[in-house]
């Protein structure tokens, strides 16, 4: 029931900010651009990032892509232990996100890449063997707000 409520589409009646998971308030704030430039430096660290939600899972709301700006390079954010979700129409809602969690640099298998592509994901470069080297983020907490113009 909790998942269904969190996946519910955003409407004019939605009250912001939408909070998901738990934010400790102790994570070090780091710019998303800085992390994307040198991801290995932050791998394994608990950090707080902010950005614009540009794409999200349309099936379950179990991941989304965050970028410093609408046209910026993105990072895929998954929810820790699938404990919370984003609304299924989140990508079309012009949302800013604060996310706390841990960064990792990892290689996705061809099967994982194919699955994410089916769910609406995109990759800037796919390795010749169908795998993708990805900077990922496992969120323990989120706050979604409407972006101001």
| Whole-structure pTM value | 0.84
Per-residue pLDDT of the chain (149 residues; tens, 9 = 90+): 778 899 999 999 999 999 999 999 999 999 999 988 888 899 999 999 999 999 999 999 999 999 998 888 889 899 999 999 999 999 999 999 999 999 988 889 999 999 999 988 888 889 999 999 888 899 999 999 998 75
Environment class of 140 (CB within 10 Å of its CB; exposed 0-12, middle 13-18, buried 19+): buried
Report the DSSP pairing between strands 46-56 and 63-67.
Answer: antiparallel
Cis peptide before 67 (omega within 30 of 0): no
Q: 106: which strand partners? A: 134
Q: What is d(CA 89, CA 8) in angstroms, rounded to the nearest whole number?
A: 8
pLDDT at 149: 58
Query: pLDDT of 65-107, one tens digit each?
Result: 999 988 888 898 999 999 999 999 999 999 999 999 999 888 8
């Amino acid at each position: 029931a909790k998942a269904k409520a969190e996946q519910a589409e955003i409407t004019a009646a939605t009250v912001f900010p939408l909070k998901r998971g738990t934010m400790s308030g102790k994570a070090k704030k780091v710019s998303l651009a800085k992390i994307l430039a040198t991801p290995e430096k932050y791998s394994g660290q608990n950090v707080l990032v902010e950005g614009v939600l540009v794409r999200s899972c349309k099936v379950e709301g179990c991941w989304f892509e965050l970028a410093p700006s609408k046209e910026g390079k993105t990072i895929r954010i998954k929810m820790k232990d699938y404990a919370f979700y984003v609304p299924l129409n989140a990508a079309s809602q012009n949302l800013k996100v604060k996310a706390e969690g841990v960064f990792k640099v990892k290689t996705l298998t061809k099967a994982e890449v194919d699955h994410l592509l089916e769910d609406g994901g995109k990759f800037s470069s796919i390795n010749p063997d169908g795998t993708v080297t990805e900077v990922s983020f496992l969120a323990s907490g989120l706050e979604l707000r409407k972006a101001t113009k």
